[in-house]
Structure 1
Amino acid sequence: QIGVDKAKQHGISLVSIANSSHCGALGVYLYPALDAKMISMIFTNGPAVMPAVGGNSPILSTSPIACAIPSNPPMIIDLSTSAVARGKIASAAKAGGSIPQGWAVDEKGEAITDAKQALMGMLAPLGGAKGFALGLMVESLSAGLSGGALSRAVPDMFNPDDDKKAQGISHTVITINPASIGKDSKDGFDGLAASITASGGRVPGSKRVSPNNLGSGEITLADAVISDLNSWSQKLGLENI
């Protein structure tokens, strides 16, 4: 919201945050800008899990990127620059499942398909060297810019020995007010979204539900996830789900 307020005044803003922690899905934080008909870009680092191409130790986090364009429907990009978000591997590990080849590797660069082993291993960059380059940009724009902890120094919340340590993660939020350009960019944004739909494609983010409009729909959870949530409910004095 700080970024939105400053972009209203100056046309563009950059908010740098240090000494933070894991913030969940980045896409959730795009909506203040979308509600104000602005563009938002968010970058964050985290525990190191992604090696350089040819490297044998993790250098970067999953280095996620989120971006929202105020078209109709909104175009929302929310992705990790590793081959997969680590949360998907964590879900597979809780369910006792396996993961596809190409998601995770060991220190020798060999594929890992056991989800629990992969959670403690390394994640392959999305698209090889291109994914690592994008991740390097994210690391530079978050931890590098803020002066916060680089990913190699961030405690890993999936490691029982580290999960009680302060992480010191960094985030960067860039907000752009299209109205400040002086042109009706809305037509361009809408036209781009319409061209995707006309081609038979799906506009990224078109199936998302804004946090402001959450309904009473249902989601399917693995038994292990439900058990874990109920365990926390008991610790916090809440009802089981």
Structure 2
Amino acid sequence: MAQLTVGSAIAKARALLIASGVPAQEAETTARCIVASDRWGIGSHGLMRLPFYLARLQAGGIKASAKLKVVTDLPSLVIFDGDDGLGHWQLQKGAEVAAERAQKNGIAAVGIGRSNHCGALGIYVWPMINKGLVGIAFSTGPAVMPPWGGNSTLLSTSPIAAGIPTDPPTVIDLATSAVARGKIQAKAQAGAELEPGWAFTKDGAPTTDAKEALAGMLAPLGGVKGYAIAVLVESLTGMLIGPTLAKNIPDMFAADQDRKSQEISHFIIAIDAAKLSVDGENSRTTDFAEYVAGAGGRLPGSNRVNPESLNGDDEITFTDQVADQLAQWSSKLGI
């Protein structure tokens, strides 16, 4: 396994993105979001993904110079056209806008269409948490799940994230498939087998082979209930924001599709937690956190580091294969 400090990893990712034409501020935000995933222990959404982003930037599937374009601007609703840009900085900006509007209006929603993969979705509820707000986020991606009882893919992993300003903060971040597809890719790179029940071949047979799973289908989380939640996510993203349904989104892991725009959509909601209370009392979040600890448990995501205050001296680990790929890109881009 390879190791880097958080600060060095951010600097490396930022330099590679800038060398690929991404403006400095957007490259910095994207690099921090990528490395935050590794710091959280979600390597499948961290530096492992960077070579795929770089390939898509080089091929034109991701537009390096993209700008967020306002489509709708109401007091509590903003819709952006992402102009085929990187999803990380775009969703971070969307979350900041949602938080600002919710502080003024009690609740706000921001949608971003025509974007790209954003990494670990849970990162983007922190702009809300840090302001004492509730944050909820949804995103879409390439179709990898069939409808319940179906035999062809129509739904993405349909991730959902939520942040609640408890102490410590609650961060829920999950795919509505049995597993995130990035974890399948990580298993494929490592030559490791999958857990039974995660995936199917393209013919619908259960498989533990990661490469077969990448070419096949993923199972929904919790059977028909996971499928129903995935439909909700697809409704709030691809169907309503658009411009593309999961069925038509190119696969970022397929090199022959690097030139194609993914046109992914994201949706984020911010709610002023202090304005929700029927009795003006806001101590129940603290009470619940204490009850969870007293019962011997912990809140979801409570051990995750705030991505907006990463310690540059902390270390992250990633596979030697990822390290080799980053070295090759550094050489290719003259870094």
* Aligned CA distance change for structure 1 residues 185 and 66 (closer, same or farther; 3 Å): farther
Which is worse superposed, 110-119 or 2-11? 110-119
Which amino acid letter does the alignment assign opposite residue 247 of structure 2? R
- Which residue of structure 2 lines up, in the alignment, with residue 194 of structure 1? 290
Which is worse superposed, 23-32 or 192-201? 192-201
Which amino acid letter does the alignment assign opposite residue 221 of structure 1? F
Equivalent positions of 1:116-195 (< 5 A) are 116-181=211-276, 183-184=279-280, 186-195=282-291
Task: Kindly state the Cα deviation for residue 218 of structure 1 after the two structures are TM-superposed.
Answer: 2.4
Which is worse superposed, 48-57 or 62-71? 48-57
Which amino acid letter does the alignment assign opposite residue 105 of structure 2? H
What whole-Å deviation, never above 9, does each CA across 1:105-164 have from its counterpart, x for those lacking one? 023321121112212211100011011101000000111221320100111111122122
- Which residue of structure 1 lines up, in the alignment, with residue 188 of structure 2? 93
What is the TM-score of this pair, normalised by structure 2? 0.68
Q: Which has the higher helix share?
A: 2
Q: In the alignment, is the contact (CA less than 8 A) between 1:51 and 1:122 conserved in 2?
A: yes
For the residues of structure 1 that align with 2:101 and 2:314, how far apart are their CA atoms? 36
For the residues of structure 1 that align with 2:209 and 2:180, how far apart are their CA atoms? 16
- Which residue of structure 1 lines up, in the alignment, with residue 54 of structure 2? none
For the residues of structure 2 that align with 1:162 and 1:193, how far apart are their CA atoms? 46
Q: In the alignment, is the contact (CA less than 8 A) between 2:164 and 2:170 conserved in 1?
A: yes
Identity of aligned residues (%): 48
Q: Secondary structure at the match of 2:257?
A: coil
Identify which of structures 1 and 2 has the higher relative contact order when contacts are C-alpha pairs closer than 8 Å and 6+ apart.
Answer: 1
- Which residue of structure 2 lines up, in the alignment, with residue 231 of structure 1? 328
Q: Secondary structure at the match of 2:259?
A: coil
Q: In the alignment, is the contact (CA less than 8 A) between 1:155 and 1:162 conserved in 2?
A: yes
Which is worse superposed, 100-109 or 203-212? 100-109
User: Considering only aligned residues, what root-mean-square deviation do their CA atoms show, in Å?
Assistant: 1.4
- Which residue of structure 2 lines up, in the alignment, with residue 209 of structure 1? 305
Q: Name segments (4+ residues, structure 1) moved above 6 Å.
A: none
Equivalent positions of 1:93-112 (< 5 A) are 93-112=188-207
Task: Kindly state the Cα deviation for residue 210 of structure 1 after the two structures are TM-superposed.
Answer: 0.9
Which is worse superposed, 134-143 or 195-204? 195-204
Which is worse superposed, 170-179 or 205-214? 205-214
Q: Secondary structure at the match of 1:219?
A: strand
What is the TM-score of this pair, normalised by structure 1? 0.94
For the residues of structure 2 that align with 1:99 and 1:164, how far apart are their CA atoms? 30
For the residues of structure 2 that align with 1:234 and 1:221, how far apart are their CA atoms? 19
Q: Secondary structure at the match of 1:94?
A: helix
Task: Kindly state the Cα deviation for residue 235 of structure 1 after the two structures are TM-superposed.
Answer: 2.3
For the residues of structure 1 that align with 2:334 and 2:191, how far apart are their CA atoms? 28
How many residues align? The count is: 238
- Which residue of structure 2 lines up, in the alignment, with residue 43 of structure 1? 138
Task: Kindly state the Cα deviation for residue 180 of structure 1 after the two structures are TM-superposed.
Answer: 2.4
